[in-house]
């Protein structure tokens, strides 16, 4: 028998880790949370906080900030909506997506006529997407609270440009603690990987004494709510119920006052959700992750950056373009549609021209796809499969993504060893060719693969190093400028940034490839495999000769001056 004669059937049980419960109790104006992998940041914490704000600020307009519009509609928003379903906040009852809400629902104070990629609630609220790569999509829209997930990908200088729209109506919401607040969550940023750590500075905005005062007050409110529930259930006298209700109202007003202008910054590890993740999960992560990654991804500890030279030392932010999505394509879909990401969504993909690719073979098959455009070379996409998947899976991945490409010619560069294996009756270059030109049933796909590395010599480390220094440093006007899609090439970006430089006993420059011995699941982001696919794509004879000629000219010029 339950305490106070409440049977188990009368209680709805929902699991919530202590971090989520603490946030639910404090309900600060601003929440900045850095949480380890598996802490249910979007599906639990953001989802529940959004529901709470919907009730506290009816008819308000809220912004959902994301690094890209595609990430928002394909990943972040669906995760939040899944969390709403778990909280019994249901579609077509509590909210609708991509459509004008029912006429009997209240309308937002800030009226808009566009409902594509929006969420409207029965309280008259509206969620709009504010992406950093597509600021014009919500230009001029005023919001009363902003949400953001994976904020380590939110560049601070771009994020600041969204803040002026956080204004709303002071007269309407001045008594609500959430008014003009922010809810930003992420896992621990690692600046070495190009991630932004601005959120860590938000700790200085927190008044710890205020947070303790809020929590203490919230505990009293919670206790009084429980007492009122029991009194009404047990049909206590009206005098007792009125007395408890009056106490509750007084303490609720105190709670509102103490929550005003509050900021909660909290850093938690994955251990906060260990009841769900299990201790075995933590041990498995420790055994499979590099210690530095385990510290950041699981323990939420700051990355310790080692001072050392990178092989691609001239690589910088200017080489990554952020406007690579064609939103005329993605605007066709609603938030609840099965959105298919493919080449039609790439702004700079020239569909009437052939494609190039670089292929690296091993436990991880790596593919880097690009095109030359005037005096610019663009890397459009990276792809990979991990063993036991092999060429059939990689071929299908490529054909699916580029199914709408009109000029179905793929020029392919690869390690000369891929041809050498033919002596062992394993011609990997032609295996790849066959899996692009034919589907899994052996039927022609319309694609033609041209193998470009037949007869090409080995590409040594110094040749690649010289070419990349000239191309990335933009010191050779005869070489094209290099641009890489920041959002469609995340594995290539990480591989290039993490590839270390070393020298052998003779002082020759080498790319340190020891990362390729890591556990297979770690290869995509941490190994040099993807950078090798990039190497084969870029170190074509035409570019190598231009770089070698430039280097020779510089050497001769240098001797003449001595």
Pairing of strands 501-503, 481-485: unpaired
pLDDT of residue 125: 95
pLDDT greater than 70 at residue 424: no
Listed residue (416, 314, 444, 441) closest to 359, CA to CA? 416
The full 3-state SS of 244-298, as one line of letters, equals: HHHHHHHHHHHHHHHHCCCEEEEEECHHHHHHHHCHHHHHHHHHHCCHHHHHHHH
Pick 475 or 279 by higher pLDDT.
475
Listed residue (262, 221, 201, 217) closest to 28, CA to CA? 262
Residue 25 binned pLDDT confidence (cut-offs 50, 70, 90): very high
Pairing of strands 355-360, 364-373: antiparallel
- For 274: left if phi > 0, alpha if psi spans -120 to 50, otherwise beta; the answer is alpha
142-146, 322-326, 553-557: range with lowest mean pLDDT: 553-557
* 299-343 per-position pLDDT tens digit: 888 775 443 468 998 998 899 999 999 999 998 888 888 888 999
Cβ atoms of residues 305 and 290 within 8 Å: no
Q: Please give the average per-residue pLDDT across 265-287, as a whole number.
A: 86
Q: Please give the average per-residue pLDDT across 263-283, as a whole number.
A: 88
Taking the C-alpha atoms of residue 369 and residue 533, their distance in angstroms, rounded to an integer, is: 9
Pairing of strands 376-386, 95-97: unpaired
Listed residue (309, 345, 322) closest to 489, CA to CA? 322
pLDDT of residue 417: 59
Residue 102: φ, ψ to 5°: -55, 150
Residue 560 binned pLDDT confidence (cut-offs 50, 70, 90): very low
The dihedral sign for the CA sequence 250, 252, 255, 260: negative
pLDDT of residue 559: 36
* 57-76 per-position pLDDT tens digit: 999 999 999 999 999 999 89
* Residues whose CB is less than 8 angstroms from the CB of residue 13 and which lie 6 or more positions away in sequence, other chains included: none
20-34, 166-180, 250-264: range with lowest mean pLDDT: 166-180
Q: Is the peptide bond before 474 cis (omega within 30 degrees of 0)?
A: no
pLDDT of residue 15: 62
- Concatenate the DSSP letters of all residues of 183-199 into one string: EEEES---GGGT---GG
- For 502: left if phi > 0, alpha if psi spans -120 to 50, otherwise beta; the answer is beta
Q: How many CB atoms lie within 10 A of CB 413?
A: 23
2-11, 132-141, 342-351: range with lowest mean pLDDT: 2-11
Q: What is the DSSP letter of 175?
A: T
Helical packing angle, 208-233 and 18-26, nearest 10°: 90
- Could you give the C-alpha distances from 393 to 397, 398, 432, 490, 554, in angstroms and in order? 6, 9, 10, 20, 46
215-219, 368-372, 503-507: range with lowest mean pLDDT: 503-507
pLDDT greater than 80 at residue 193: no
- Concatenate the DSSP letters of all residues of 10-70 into one string: G-------HHHHHHHHH--SEEEEEE-TTS-IIIIIIHHHHHHHHHHSTT-EEEEEES-HH
Taking the C-alpha atoms of residue 155 and residue 197, their distance in angstroms, rounded to an integer, is: 9
pLDDT of residue 191: 76
Q: Tell me the Cα Rg of the chain.
A: 28
Taking the C-alpha atoms of residue 267 and residue 185, their distance in angstroms, rounded to an integer, is: 10
Which of 228-237, 337-346, 429-438 has maximum average pLDDT?
429-438
Pick 561 or 262 by higher pLDDT.
262
Listed residue (113, 116, 125, 72) closest to 98, CA to CA? 116
pLDDT greater than 80 at residue 104: yes
Taking the C-alpha atoms of residue 227 and residue 217, their distance in angstroms, rounded to an integer, is: 16
Which two tokens mark 189?
A: 């940023």
Listed residue (80, 76, 102, 98) closest to 89, CA to CA? 80
Listed residue (160, 243, 237, 234) closest to 196, CA to CA? 160
pLDDT of residue 562: 27
Percentage with pLDDT > 70 across the chain: 90
pLDDT of residue 203: 92
pLDDT of residue 418: 53
Taking the C-alpha atoms of residue 518 and residue 535, their distance in angstroms, rounded to an integer, is: 20
Burial class (CB in 10 A: 0-12, 13-18, 19+), 193: middle
H/E run at residue 366:
strand 364-373
Pairing of strands 448-451, 409-414: parallel
Cβ atoms of residues 548 and 466 within 8 Å: yes
Q: Please give the average per-residue pLDDT across 204-227, as a whole number.
A: 95
Residue 504 binned pLDDT confidence (cut-offs 50, 70, 90): confident
pLDDT of residue 377: 98
pLDDT of residue 280: 87
- Could you give the C-alpha distances from 52 to 21, 29, 150, in angstroms and in order? 13, 12, 21
Taking the C-alpha atoms of residue 76 and residue 147, their distance in angstroms, rounded to an integer, is: 11
Q: Is the peptide bond before 46 cis (omega within 30 degrees of 0)?
A: no
């Amino acid at each position: 028998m339950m305490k106070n004669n409440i049977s188990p059937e009368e209680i709805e049980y929902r699991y919530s880790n202590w971090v989520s419960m603490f946030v639910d109790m404090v309900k600060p104006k601003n929440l900045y949370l850095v949480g380890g992998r598996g802490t249910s940041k979007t599906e639990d914490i953001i989802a529940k906080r959004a529901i709470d704000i919907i009730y506290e600020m009816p008819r308000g307009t809220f912004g959902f900030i994301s690094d890209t519009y595609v990430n928002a509609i394909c990943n972040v928003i669906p995760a939040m909506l899944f969390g709403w379903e778990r909280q019994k906040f249901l579609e077509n009852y509590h909210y609708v997506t991509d459509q004008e809400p029912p006429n009997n629902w209240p309308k937002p104070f800030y009226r808009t006529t566009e409902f594509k990629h929006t969420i409207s609630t029965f309280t008259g609220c509206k969620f709009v997407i504010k992406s950093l790569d597509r600021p014009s999509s919500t230009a001029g829209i005023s919001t009363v609270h902003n949400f953001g997930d994976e904020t380590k990908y939110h560049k601070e200088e771009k994020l600041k440009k969204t803040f002026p729209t956080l204004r709303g109506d002071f007269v309407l919401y001045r008594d609500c603690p959430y008014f003009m607040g922010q809810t930003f969550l992420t896992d621990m940023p690692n600046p070495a990987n190009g991630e932004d750590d601005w959120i860590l500075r938000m700790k200085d905005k927190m008044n710890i004494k205020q947070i303790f005062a809020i929590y203490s007050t919230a505990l009293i409110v919670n206790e009084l709510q429980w007492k009122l529930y029991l009194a009404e259930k047990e049909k206590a006298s009206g005098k007792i119920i009125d007395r408890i209700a009056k106490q509750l109202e007084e303490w609720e007003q105190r709670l509102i006052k103490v929550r005003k202008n509050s900021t909660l910054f909290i850093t938690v590890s994955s251990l906060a959700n260990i009841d769900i993740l299990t201790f075995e999960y933590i041990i498995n992560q420790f055994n499979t992750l590099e210690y530095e990654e385990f510290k950041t991804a699981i323990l939420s500890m700051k990355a310790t950056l080692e001072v050392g030279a990178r092989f691609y030392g001239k690589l910088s932010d200017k080489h990554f373009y952020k406007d690579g999505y064609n939103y005329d394509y993605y605007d066709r879909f609603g938030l609840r549609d099965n959105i298919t990401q493919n080449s039609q969504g790439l702004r700079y993909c020239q569909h009437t021209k052939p494609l190039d690719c670089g292929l690296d073979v091993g436990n991880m098959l790596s593919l880097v796809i690009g095109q030359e455009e005037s005096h610019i070379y663009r890397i459009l996409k990276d792809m990979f499969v991990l063993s036991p998947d092999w060429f059939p899976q990689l071929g299908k991945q490529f054909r699916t993504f580029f199914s709408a490409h009109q000029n179905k010619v793929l020029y392919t560069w690869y390690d000369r060893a891929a041809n050498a294996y033919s002596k062992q009756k394993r011609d990997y270059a032609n295996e790849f060719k066959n899996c692009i030109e034919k589907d899994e049933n052996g039927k022609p796909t319309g694609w033609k693969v041209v193998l470009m590395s037949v007869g090409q010599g080995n590409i040594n480390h110094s040749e690649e190093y010289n070419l990349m220094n000239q191309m990335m440093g933009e010191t050779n006007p005869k070489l094209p400028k290099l641009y890489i899609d920041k959002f469609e090439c995340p594995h290539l970006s990480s591989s290039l940034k993490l590839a270390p430089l070393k020298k052998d006993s003779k002082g020759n420059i080498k790319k340190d490839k020891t990362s390729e011995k890591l556990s297979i699941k770690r290869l995509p982001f941490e190994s040099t495999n993807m950078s090798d696919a990039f190497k084969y794509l870029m170190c074509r004879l035409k570019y190598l000769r231009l770089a070698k000629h430039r280097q020779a000219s510089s050497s001769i010029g240098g001797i003449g001056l001595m």
